[in-house]
Amino acid sequence: MKKITLKDIAAHFGVSVSTVSKAINDSYEISASLKTKIQQYAEENNYSPNRLALSLLNKSTKTIGIVLPNILNYFFTQVFYGIEKVANERGYNLISCISNESYEKEVKTLGVLSSGTVDGLIISLAEETQSKNDVTHLEKFIKSQIPLVLFDRITDLIDCDKVIVDDLEAGYKATNYFIKTGCKNIAIVTPIDHSSVGRLRIDGYKKSLAENNIDYDDRLIVRLEKDDDLSLLLTFLLDYKKIDGILVLDEITAVKLMKILKPKGYKIPEDISIIGFTNGKLSEYVTPSLTTMSQHGSYIGESTARILIDKIESNLSQEEETFTTKVVKTSLIVRESTKNQSTKY
Amino acid sequence: MKKITLKDIAAHFGVSVSTVSKAINDSYEISASLKTKIQQYAEENNYSPNRLALSLLNKSTKTIGIVLPNILNYFFTQVFYGIEKVANERGYNLISCISNESYEKEVKTLGVLSSGTVDGLIISLAEETQSKNDVTHLEKFIKSQIPLVLFDRITDLIDCDKVIVDDLEAGYKATNYFIKTGCKNIAIVTPIDHSSVGRLRIDGYKKSLAENNIDYDDRLIVRLEKDDDLSLLLTFLLDYKKIDGILVLDEITAVKLMKILKPKGYKIPEDISIIGFTNGKLSEYVTPSLTTMSQHGSYIGESTARILIDKIESNLSQEEETFTTKVVKTSLIVRESTKNQSTKY
DNA sequence: TACAAAGACGAAATCGTTTTCGTTAAAAGG
DNA sequence: CCTTTTAACGAAAACGATTTCGTCTTTGTA
């Protein structure tokens, strides 16, 4: 039983397609008797209008595209969850793509998505895109007049709505907390040094150090590349200086780091305090549980989707258009991997 | 700059739409000079064909729908990842929906997806759907002639391709392992008792017990409902009998359970061995690390997508159609939460 | 010179809807 | 009885593309 169309129904009753359309949409133009007959027949053969045809006609797909760098990352999963939530509430579907941190795939994806498939787009940049700093594909996309919202991994080169985490403040707050709990030599381990996000957090770290009259030492920043041996780099770090606090810019790396530190005899948090990022299940259930900066992923997703849909539905001309950047504050979730603020060691 | 169409280009050159279409598609019918002019102009104004129009014409959207019960569950995230991987390889886009374990939302979603938006559908049933055991919405969907593949949370009421985990064997293997490592009183904690998956695992458990001449005791099965207090139920269980092995049908619950057990003075695995499900990051990094049954989520996703796309592209008539059920074996990942097989306690 | 064969392009159908504007007939009004 | 409503329906355009046929014009060939 192939999908039934208006034409089929029209043929069955010997009337025109327009009549059927009107009957199904309960138009006053059609006689009551014919209407009920058609409606019933449509119901029985579970007719439903072809969305493609409607989209083509109305120039609205009720679909928003979303490009994520990596779905296995819990932060992005949370954002996705948030986006889906409000998209669903407001009647939009999601077409989701994963760039896998690849510039090329991102470019390809934007190409596909710019050709009528979506009413709007949400994207967080691939790491490769950020390190290349090439956003011509975004510029092209903007030209297609489709509303675009960037979140988290953004770029200053593009003028559009953005939702970001206050990463500078996050780095600042985390570092402050280290200092307040008695840490003197605070290192950073970053697996995301190519991203805007990672650098901002380090800026926040520097700001805190400066305010506390601690000299910044670049050798305390461990920049982790793809196939680097964390254990080895950590050994170098700990041999270099007596570290008592490590800010890790990523949840999984923080956990791995603890797993390396423990057998070496370092006590957490007594010897070394750890603060991680992305407040996921891992941080909560690992031993010792991990103090993290929560970025409120779901909330970011919700905000992003809301901003996008608002823009889609308020069809302003390009002149009236105004772009906002929403900054979402982070929260420090204190757990066992850091010392207590009142305790002095 | 609104999105440019063939009509616009045609107007610009004073030729017909068909000519432009042919020119862009490099047809031999069009003179070389005109072709290059049109192609260049199209390129400059970054023309790309409207996918909706093409889909409508070709009756093919190159899009597959995917309905997941819960994206925050790592298993489903992995499956999603696998699906995306092969979908991308084979040129398909993903439109993704989250049922949030809700029957109603699932019904609604299938309605939307059946009206021309996707070439095929992948779905894992919501818990509510499985407990209601009402799949009329799936039957309706089948009628729409769109290929459908069910995975993991399936139903026997529907005849279609399926990819499932060998959950019975998983329960069986896990229980065997408990017994081999000296456990006598093995309990089960299941937060998914309403799902097919959960019951099959228990069947496997029973099978193993029977083979080892251990009596099945229903009071050793702790069925966790939404707002139940795990700690309390656990206390009841441990008071009831001297449990030395717990099979937990869910990763997060396994971890929570360990977190409850430890402060009560139970040593894991010496006093109580634990085996969990879903081999995620949590299991790997928690202390003690968790022995789990891996369901190979990504592989399941890949298989599912492959089967679906194969079916989409081999347009067989309904008579020639044949359905397969692929059963994916699980693997026991042994870690610290179970005793060693050679060690006798 | 006449006729066929390319060469180069356009018209129109098609996909499935909605909607505007006719058109026809019956009912209502004078 | 004639005119005007109004009820009930159909034709056609529109969305953006592809493709099958035409239809000319020009070139080639006998």
> pLDDT tens for residues B6-17?
999 999 999 999
Rounded average pLDDT over A61-74: 96
CA atoms within 13 A on the CB side of B103: 11
**Residue B141 · residue B114 · CB < 8 Å:** yes
Rounded average pLDDT over A318-327: 88
A255 shares a domain with A172 = yes
**Residue A127 · residue A69 · CB < 8 Å:** yes
DSSP-based three-state secondary structure for A23? helix
Task: Tell me if B336 is assigned to some domain.
Answer: no
- Distance, C-alpha A95 to centroid of its chain: 14
Query: Which of B294, B318, B338 is where one domain is finished?
Result: B294
Rounded average pLDDT over B204-220: 97
Task: Tell me if B126 is assigned to some domain.
Answer: yes
Mean pLDDT of chain A: 95
Q: Which residues of B touch A259 (CB under 8 A)?
A: 285
Task: Tell me if A90 is assigned to some domain.
Answer: yes
Q: How far apart are CA A165 and CA A66, in angstroms?
A: 18
Q: Chain A: nearest CA to B138, how far in angstroms?
A: 13
- Asked if the Cβ–Cβ distance from B112 to A93 is below 8 Å, we say yes
- Asked if the Cβ–Cβ distance from A93 to B115 is below 8 Å, we say no
Q: Which residues of B touch A255 (CB under 8 A)?
A: 281, 285
Q: What is the dihedral of CA B43, B46, B49, B50, to 10 degrees?
A: -170
Question: What's the number of domains chain A is made of?
Answer: 3
A264 shares a domain with A214 = yes
- Asked if the Cβ–Cβ distance from B56 to A53 is below 8 Å, we say yes
Mean pLDDT of chain B: 95
Answer whether any strand D atom is within 7 A of the Cβ of B45.
no
A179 shares a domain with A257 = yes
A207 shares a domain with A187 = yes
Buried b (16+ CB within 10 A) or exposed e, B12-41: eeebeeebbbbbbeeeeebeeeebeebbeb
Task: Tell me if A342 is assigned to some domain.
Answer: no
pLDDT at B220: 97
DSSP assigned state of A331: E
A274: nearest Cα among A164, A191, A178, A139: A178
* Greatest alpha-carbon span in chain B: 89
Task: Tell me if B339 is assigned to some domain.
Answer: no
A247 shares a domain with A211 = yes
- How many C-beta atoms lie closer than 10 Å to residue B53's C-beta? 17
- The answer to whether residue A302 scores a pLDDT higher than 80 is yes
pLDDT tens column, A9-40 = 999 999 999 999 999 999 999 999 999 999 99
Q: How far apart are CA B275 and CA B290, in angstroms?
A: 7
Predicted TM-score (pTM) of this structure: 0.94
Task: Tell me if A343 is assigned to some domain.
Answer: no
B258 shares a domain with B178 = yes
- The answer to whether residue B344 scores a pLDDT higher than 60 is no
Q: Chain A: nearest CA to B30, how far in angstroms?
A: 25
pLDDT tens column, A144-159 = 989 999 999 999 999 9
Q: How far apart are CA A186 and CA A243, in angstroms?
A: 6
Q: Chain A: nearest CA to B287, how far in angstroms?
A: 6
**Residue A96 · residue A80 · CB < 8 Å:** yes
Strand C bases near protein CB (under 7 Å) are: 7-22
CA atoms within 13 A on the CB side of B139: 6
DSSP-based three-state secondary structure for A196? helix
Of A3, A63, A259, the CB nearest to B285: A259
Q: Report the residue of B6, B115, B251, B258 to disrupt the A interface, i.e. the one with the largest count of A CBs within 10 Å.
A: B115
Rounded average pLDDT over A293-318: 92
State the CATH number of the domain containing residue B321: 3.40.50.2300
- The answer to whether residue A211 scores a pLDDT higher than 80 is yes
The CA–C1' separation of A4 and D6, in angstroms, is: 33
Question: Using the CA of B4, which nucleotide's C1' is the nearest one?
Answer: D16
The CA–C1' separation of A18 and C24, in angstroms, is: 17
Q: Chain A: nearest CA to B214, how far in angstroms?
A: 34
Q: How far apart are CA A186 and CA A247, in angstroms?
A: 7
- The answer to whether residue A96 scores a pLDDT higher than 90 is yes
Nearest residue to nucleotide D15 when comparing alpha carbons to its C1'?
A57
> Could you list the residue range(s) of the whole structural domain that residue B18 is in?
6-49
The CA–C1' separation of B21 and C23, in angstroms, is: 37
Q: Specify the higher pLDDT residue, B322 or B318.
A: B322
Q: Chain B: nearest CA to A67, how far in angstroms?
A: 11
pLDDT at A320: 77
Of B50, B72, B93, the CB nearest to A95: B93
Q: How far apart are CA B162 and CA A270, in angstroms?
A: 52
A226 shares a domain with A136 = no
B258: nearest Cα among B79, A325, B249, B248: B248
Task: Tell me if A335 is assigned to some domain.
Answer: no
Rounded average pLDDT over B137-156: 95
Q: Report the residue of B2, B6, B52, B144 to disrupt the A interface, i.e. the one with the largest count of A CBs within 10 Å.
A: B52
Q: What is the radius of gyration, based on Cα positions, of chain A? A: 26
Residue ranges in chain B assigned as alpha helix (H): 6-13, 17-24, 32-44, 51-58, 74-89, 103-113, 127-132, 136-143, 167-180, 196-211, 230-240, 251-261, 281-285, 297-313
Residues within 7 Å (Cβ) of strand C: A 3, 5-7, 17-18, 21-22, 24-25, 29, 47-50, 52-54, 56-57; B 14-19, 29-32, 34, 53, 56-57, 59, 116
Task: Tell me if A1 is assigned to some domain.
Answer: no
Rounded average pLDDT over B51-60: 96
pLDDT at B342: 62
Question: Using the CA of A52, which nucleotide's C1' is the nearest one?
Answer: C16
- Asked if the Cβ–Cβ distance from A55 to B53 is below 8 Å, we say no
B287 shares a domain with B180 = yes
A135 shares a domain with A213 = no
State the CATH number of the domain containing residue B39: 1.10.260
A104 shares a domain with A73 = yes
A261 shares a domain with A196 = yes
**Residue A214 · residue A244 · CB < 8 Å:** no
A194 shares a domain with A218 = yes
